[in-house]
Amino acid sequence: MDMVLALLLGAALSYAGMAALCLGMDRHHRQVWTRTAPALQRVLRVLGWLLLAAAIWPCVRAWGSSVGVVIWFGLLSAAALILVLLLPYRPKAAALLMGLAAAGSLPALLWSVS
């Protein structure tokens, strides 16, 4: 796997996972959808953990298990920083970006497995 593709794929999956976890919380969920929906919040939490777990795959595949895990943690930190800066001011944009990142990265992840 190309290292640039692995970096972009890991970053998109990390952002989508972190955003899904954030939107699974009551406060951020109400910022985007104005009322809470417990079923949707549970789905977002599970989806967030699955996306974060999937984000490690391209990193480990491109850089190996020792360096790939370190890069994955760096991508998680960068995704969290972006969300900390974006959620208070543009929560709907953060949710839209989450959907775009997940929709764009999941086909690329499936393509990279083969």
- Residue 12 resides in a domain: yes
- Residue 67 resides in a domain: yes
Q: How many domains does the chain divide into?
A: 1
**How many angstroms separate the CA atoms of 72 and 48, rounded?**
15
| Residue 40 CA neighbour count, 13 Å, CB half | 11
- Residue 69 resides in a domain: yes
- Residue 87 resides in a domain: yes
Full pLDDT tens readout for the chain, 114 residues: 688 889 999 999 999 999 999 999 988 899 898 888 899 999 999 999 999 999 999 999 999 999 999 999 999 999 999 999 999 899 999 999 999 999 998 888 878 776
Q: Are 71 and 64 in contact (CB under 8 A)?
A: no
pLDDT score for 113: 73
User: 60 is in which domain, residue-wise?
Assistant: 3-108
**How many angstroms separate the CA atoms of 64 and 50, rounded?**
21
